[in-house]
Amino acid sequence: MAKISVIGAGMTGSTTAHWLAEREIADIVLVDIMEGMPQGKALDMTQAMPIIGKDVMILGSNDYADTKDSDIVVITAGLPRKPGMTREDLLVKNANIVGSVAEETIKYSPNAIYLILTNPLDTMTYMTMMKTGLPANKIIGQAGILDSARMSAFIAMETGVSVQNINCYVLGGHGDSMVPLTRHSNIAGVPLEKYLDADKLEAIVQRTRKGGGEIVGLLKTGSAFYAPSAAIAQMAEAILKDKKLIVPCAAYLNGEYGQKGIFFGVPVMLGKGGVEKIIEYDLNEDEKTALQNSADAVAKSVEELKGLVEL
């Protein structure tokens, strides 16, 4: 059995473990700084396994030694966004947490692939690359699957069509500048405009951009966790099963889409090597401009990170 360590056993971390166990693809180690909490959640989940019929070992721990030889390390440790807080407000606090988690875990799992969930996502992936020293293809940020799934869910709610027929692609940074690509999205191969008038579609695009904030506003004490963690489980399965799955993720760009030196949401092929390929879409001038604006916002926050914490 493969091994996945999930660092941070809070809302997103424990829900990630839950979705992973459902998929029965790896044994799971859940690590947190809070004593007893990961152990309690792991034991509770272990006791659910006979009910759902999955043979998965789930260990809770406060000790990084238990993560030894993980195939995948998922980082969710950090503070969640509170109402009124932007993702960037979290930058310094979470950068220090993610930096220390990266340094600790890489000692025990030098061959792992890292999946990052902690926000601000585009900079936390960068931090992980710097602190682990791993090649960029082994560091992948979760954002695009979630943002695309939010858009798909809103379209399903509006049209009544099965979510399985709805294909949406949201690229760019994981912030308000993200770029929902309506021209590349479709319902069973039919353009979205055939199902939705322009106003409805624009409202869905705007709601997608603010999808995370909408949930923070409702929950009041934290941020979304079911959908972000479901996305991590999909990524982990694609990697462990070497599926060559094409999904939007935050990947390190080296000239693709005209960008260099940032993690940015683009379609990637996921397989046993992590990011095995970056897929480049043909974009029109409006789409290119929107992506450039989003890339500028991400590059700015990476520069900010470099000024605030030691890399």
- Identity of the residue, 127 or 283, whose beta carbon is nearer to ligand APR in the bound complex: 127
23: annotated binding-site residue? Answer: no
281 in Cβ contact with 165 (< 8 Å) = no
Cβ-closest position to ligand APR? 10
Give the position of tokens 């923070």: 216
Give the shortest CB-46-to-ligand APR separation in angstroms: 19
Q: Which stretch binds ligand APR (CB under 6 A): 97-105, 108-116, 172-180, 283-291?
A: 97-105
Stretch that binds ligand APR, among 39-47, 66-74, 116-124, 253-261 (CB under 6 A): 116-124
Residue (86 or 254) nearer to ligand APR, CB: 86
Within 13 A of 256's CA, how many CA atoms are on the CB side? 19
Interhelix angle 121-132/285-308, nearest 10 degrees = 50
Distance of CA 251 to CAs 18, 68, 129, 200, 305, Å? 25, 25, 11, 31, 18
- Please select the residue that binds ligand APR; options are 10, 144, 172, 173, rule is CB under 6 A: 10
Q: Give catalytic status of residue 174 as yes or no.
A: yes
Give the Å distances, CA to CA, from 282 to 99, 101, 186, 286: 36, 38, 16, 12
Report if residue 76 touches ligand APR, rule: CB under 6 A. yes
Say whether residue 228 binds ligand APR (CB under 6 A): yes
Q: Is 81 annotated as a binding residue?
A: yes
Find residue 27's DSSP bridge partners: 3
Residues from 29 through 48 that contact ligand APR (CB under 6 A): 32-34
List Cα–Cα distances, 125 to 25, 113, 132, in angstroms: 24, 12, 11
- How is residue 46 written in tokens? 């272990």
Which is closer to ligand APR, CB of 16 or CB of 186? Answer: 16
8 belongs to the binding site for ligand APR (CB under 6 A): yes
Please give the full DSSP string across 220-231, using - where no structure is assigned: SSS---HHHHHH
Under the criterion CB under 6 A, does residue 77 sit at the interface with ligand APR? yes
32 is in an annotated binding site: yes
87 in a known ligand binding site? yes
The H or E element containing residue 199 is helix 198-209
Q: Which is nearer to ligand APR, 12 or 132 (CB)?
A: 12
Q: Which of 83, 102, 74 is CA-nearest to residue 9?
A: 74
* Active-site position among 18, 174, 184, 209: 174
Residues known to be catalytic:
174
Which stretches of the chain bind ligand APR, using CB under 6 A? 7-13, 32-34, 76-78, 80-81, 94, 97, 100-101, 117-119, 222-223, 225, 228
Binding site for NAD(+): which residues? 8-13, 32, 94, 117-119
